[in-house]
Amino acid sequence: MFKENLRQKANFTFYQILAIGIGFLALLSFSAWKLYPKLLLFPKILLGQMETICGCTDHLSFSHHPILFISLTIIGSGLIGFFGFATIKVLKVKLVTNKFVRENLQRQKPVISRRLSMIAVEAGLAIGQIIEISDKNPVIFCFGLLRSKVCLSSGLIAKMSAKELKAVLLHEQYHLLSHEPIKIFMVKLIAGILFFLPGLKFFAGQYLVFSELAADQWATDNFQNKIPLAGALYKVIDWKKKMIVRNELALSFFANPAIIERVNKLSDNRYDPKFKIFSSRLAIGIIILAISFIFTGRALSVNNSAMTEYYADSCSEMEPVLYQTNQQCEMTPIEPICVMDYELVNSQCKN
């Protein structure tokens, strides 16, 4: 299935990572939605409002349900902390990326050079998709989450022959067509946020490798015309060594960590880079995570049932009259209906 098509391998890996991220977010959101009404009761309990709301003198307290309070506190703190961590991670990647792009675009030329314009047209790239900056270093990267563009430096254009520059532009054209910046943004976020999943980091690296190999395949006519791209890659290797650390940048770099695999493939057509469809470590991690969510849901359900039974024993009938402190629970031989409805209690408190 994946023997020759590097693009399929890259896409398969990307959708694997995306499915893991969406699945985890769905489970986390469902747990937060279930837990949210219960967490809203905490300040009311601490302020002693439960007796007023329920009309029962023996209301919910830590002494009655210590396990419930402890479990809700731990789970609630964990969810809040994780959402906060994820938010910070998103903002950090976005801000660092924007800063890098903004610093480079400050040197943008008002009009791209005639040589670059001619080669871009020959490669099938629109002029509006290319930005040229004044820099003696061979800078080239693809940026923009929605409207992606290619940024090249005047130094790179000067160092490349016409054929090498065309190969570089064809490589970047693939990234534009594949919406690579937004894919890299999502892959790095998911891998960074779910850092505790074993094996996920490997698949994130695998995606970066095969997306670059697929771009090389596109630029070399399925590796039939490798010399121009190989020459261009050689000329930017020294620049890569001088670059700042950019592990968190949501950008597609021509000289990126996949450079060894690219050199191997360009030098030997028979070279087959390592590709994994399945990872037992990652599968075990996902299973453990799913079981943890299931047990958390069960724990919340058991605690809810225990509290409902507690109230049913304490009160046999309760009129939902708000703020009538003289309303008492009368013991009558009818079926207990004193059931704690978190959403109803919270909506009453807001009134």
At 221-258, the pLDDT tens digits run: 988 899 999 888 888 876 655 544 455 555 656 656 57
Q: Which two tokens stand for residue 177?
A: 């067509």
Q: Hunting for tokens 């991670």 — which residue is that? A: 89
Tens digits of per-residue pLDDT, 67-105? 666 666 777 777 788 888 888 988 988 888 888 889 889
**CA 144 – CA 349 distance, rounded (Å):** 46
Tens digits of per-residue pLDDT, 12-49? 999 999 999 998 888 888 777 777 666 666 555 555 55
Pairing of strands 149-153, 130-133: parallel
Q: State CA 253 to chain mean position distance.
A: 20
Minimum mean pLDDT range among 4-13, 56-65, 165-174, 228-237 = 56-65
Q: Which two tokens stand for residue 323?
A: 């703020």
Average pLDDT, rounded, for the chain: 76
CA distances from 307 to 36, 59, 145 (A): 17, 10, 49
**CA 21 – CA 38 distance, rounded (Å):** 26
Q: Could you say which DSSP state residue 132 is in?
A: E
Please return the burial class of 19, using the count of CB atoms within 10 Å of its CB with bins 0-12, 13-18 and 19+.
Answer: exposed
pLDDT tier for residue 259 given thresholds of 50, 70 and 90: confident
Share of the chain above pLDDT 70, in %: 66
Q: Are 203 and 16 in contact (CB under 8 A)?
A: yes
pLDDT tier for residue 166 given thresholds of 50, 70 and 90: very high
Given this model, what pLDDT does residue 294 score? 72
**CA 251 – CA 185 distance, rounded (Å):** 8
Q: Is the pLDDT of residue 343 over 90?
A: no
CA distances from 136 to 70, 115, 172, 240 (A): 61, 16, 20, 14
- Give the count of beta carbons closer than 10 Å to the beta carbon of residue 77: 11
Given this model, what pLDDT does residue 305 score? 52
Q: Are 338 and 311 in contact (CB under 8 A)?
A: yes
Name the pTM for this structure. 0.74
pLDDT tier for residue 338 given thresholds of 50, 70 and 90: very low
Length of the chain: 351
